[in-house]
Amino acid sequence: MADAARHHRIEVMGTVVTVDLFGDGLDDRTAEGLVEAAAASLRGDDAVFSTWRPDSPISRLRRGEVTLGETPPEVAEVLDLCARVRDMTGGWFDPWALPGGVDPTGLVKGWAAERALAALEHPAVRAAMVNAAGDIASRGDLDGDPLTVGVVDPRDRTRLIAVVALRGALATSGDYERPDQLIDPHDAAPRSRYLSASVAGPDLAIADALATALCVGGDEVLEIVAGSGDYSAFVVDRDLTARVTSGFPLVR
């Protein structure tokens, strides 16, 4: 028997996060409780890391009102991950080089989605997916078949440019929705060398940051991702040429 699907929408972190649950034995009450737990996790993380909230710990840290040791332990955890990706990408992802003080936004959405996915653990859940505005954390499969998602065509949002099998995380970055949103940490100038960049791998926080670094760093970062062993990439150049690294779970 095919697993029943349940789809939910959560408005949080300044965007819409969707939660999909799959499982035959999953009743409405259990599903709603799991989704609320995921929503509470996302809201809690937003309260800590929102740079739009002047009273958030990350905002206070950016203004120098508190030290790192005076913030919740999640802040140090996220900044440690940021430092890891900064080193991995040769500085193409660097939250400390952005205007206004340290800004982990390019990683924290994926990190928060992974935590929300963990809140969906239940014996009746065969597979689950948390989609935070295109950054997707997933686990499980449907009778051995992976969940699949589409990557939209950056020049025509009504069509797909690729279909991808989910084997963990998938993050997509680009400036096709909000031009000039991606900042090159080397000169603080808006820059995106690709129309879009998608990264697949085991952890959405890392994939999220790598997708951001790919857009601003271009082919230099593409080589880093290709040689990482754990992560792979699908990029769309400015002329709409699509390129893929070895291991990327492209279906079509």
pLDDT in tens, the chain (252 residues): 345 678 998 888 778 999 999 998 889 999 999 999 999 999 999 999 999 999 999 999 999 999 999 999 999 999 999 999 999 999 999 999 988 999 999 999 999 999 999 999 999 999 999 999 889 999 999 989 999 999 999 888 889 999 999 999 999 998 776 667 899 999 989 999 999 999 999 999 999 999 999 999 999 999 999 999 999 999 999 998 999 999 999 997
HSE on the CB side for 134, CA within 13 Å?
Answer: 19
Count of alpha carbons within 13 angstroms of residue 147, beta-carbon side: 23
Query: 35-71 b/e with 16+ CB inside 10 Å = b?
Result: bebbbebbeebbebbbbeeeebbbbbbbeeeeeeeeb
- Could you give the domains of the chain? 5-244 (3.10.520.10)
pTM here? 0.93
